[in-house]
């Protein structure tokens, strides 16, 4: 995956795989942390999708009625991709950058700051892809997938993760202390709640609807939902374009910031 994502960070090399391997060795000793992360979206699905779904009933979407659990499940997939990517690229990266100084030690080797940034991004998305695959299998088991297009929901969730991880990497370089992580939550929670995650876009008042459509998570939710329900169309190209642009912008800034901080 480092080769696949390398085009987003000019100057990064195959040496980034050593960062991925280092993280793998560390997480292998704390495997329960990795495994436990796969259950969070499942709990959301069971509590909100199944529990609340019994009260809500069907949802009108694109001219047809959709079971509420089927409506919410793709949004949980997209939200899980965002949450995992943001946590991995902010709290973990901040700790290595400002507290344990892991990255300073890495730059004493042939690794460059761009190699480090790409390695961190790659590992976070390998972890995120595993979570997404587990959740998709759960959706199939629950009968919440209505189209073969859902196969593409896996790479779509990885794209969502890359986009948010890129911005998270850049944001982590600006953090001065652990209290700055509260600002991350301040942004993350409204995105989670107001990105057409739990309600169709048509239910929002017109002024708020426009704001929702500016949310990057909205584009991820809409993309995953279209793929799972089989409502694929031209608008999905726009959703992909927004996420790719977000990934480019975030990684370019992250690359420059890593260079400035580690070679200061």
Confidence of residue 157 (pLDDT cuts 50, 70, 90): very high
**Per the structure, how many domains does the chain have?**
1
Range with the lowest mean pLDDT among 53-67, 164-178, 216-230? 53-67
Q: What are phi and psi of 65, to 5 degrees?
A: -90, 135
pLDDT at 178: 86
Chain-wide mean pLDDT for the chain?
84
Q: What are phi and psi of 107, to 5 degrees?
A: -75, -10
Contact 185, 256 (CB under 8 A): no
Confidence of residue 154 (pLDDT cuts 50, 70, 90): very high
Distance (Å, rounded) from C-alpha 243 to C-alpha 160?
6
Q: What are phi and psi of 189, to 5 degrees?
A: -65, -45
Residue 252's domain spans which residues? 2-262
Confidence of residue 11 (pLDDT cuts 50, 70, 90): low
* 187-230 confidence digits (pLDDT tens): 999 998 889 988 888 888 888 888 999 999 999 999 999 999 99
Is residue 243 pLDDT above 90, yes or no? yes
Please give the residue that has the higher pLDDT: either 78 or 46. Answer: 78
* 12-56 confidence digits (pLDDT tens): 567 888 888 888 887 777 666 666 666 776 777 777 766 777 777
Q: Which of 172, 195, 173 is nearest to 243 (CA)?
A: 195
pLDDT at 1: 58
Residue 8, exposed/middle/buried by CB under 10 A (0-12, 13-18, 19+)? buried
Helices (H), the chain: 2-5, 16-28, 31-37, 40-44, 53-56, 68-94, 102-106, 113-141, 153-172, 181-193, 206-213, 216-229, 235-262
């Amino acid at each position: 995956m480092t080769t696949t994502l390398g085009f987003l960070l000019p100057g990064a090399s195959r040496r980034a795989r050593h960062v991925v391997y280092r993280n793998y060795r560390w997480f292998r000793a704390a495997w329960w942390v990795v495994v436990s992360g796969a259950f969070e979206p499942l709990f959301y699905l069971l509590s909100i999708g199944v529990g609340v779904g019994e009260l809500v009933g069907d949802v009108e979407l694109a001219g047809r009625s959709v079971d509420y659990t089927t409506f919410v499940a793709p949004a949980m997939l997209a939200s899980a991709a965002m949450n995992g990517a943001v946590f991995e690229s902010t709290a973990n990266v901040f700790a290595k950058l400002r507290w344990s100084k892991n990255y300073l030690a890495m730059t004493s080797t042939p690794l460059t700051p761009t190699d480090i940034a790409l390695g961190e991004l790659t590992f976070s998305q390998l972890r995120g892809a595993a979570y997404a695959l587990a959740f998709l299998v759960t959706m199939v088991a629950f009968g919440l997938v209505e189209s073969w297009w859902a196969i593409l929901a896996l790479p779509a969730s990885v794209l969502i993760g890359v986009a948010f991880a890129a911005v998270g990497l850049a944001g982590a370089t600006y953090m001065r202390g652990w209290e700055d992580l509260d600002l991350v939550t301040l942004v993350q929670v409204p995105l989670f709640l107001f990105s057409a995650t739990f309600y169709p876009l048509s239910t929002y008042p017109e002024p708020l609807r426009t704001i929702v459509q500016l949310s990057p998570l909205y584009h991820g939710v809409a993309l995953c939902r279209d793929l799972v329900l089989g409502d694929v169309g031209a608008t999905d190209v726009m959703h992909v374009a927004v996420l790719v642009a977000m990934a480019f912008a975030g990684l370019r800034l992250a690359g420059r910031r890593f260079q400035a901080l580690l070679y200061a």
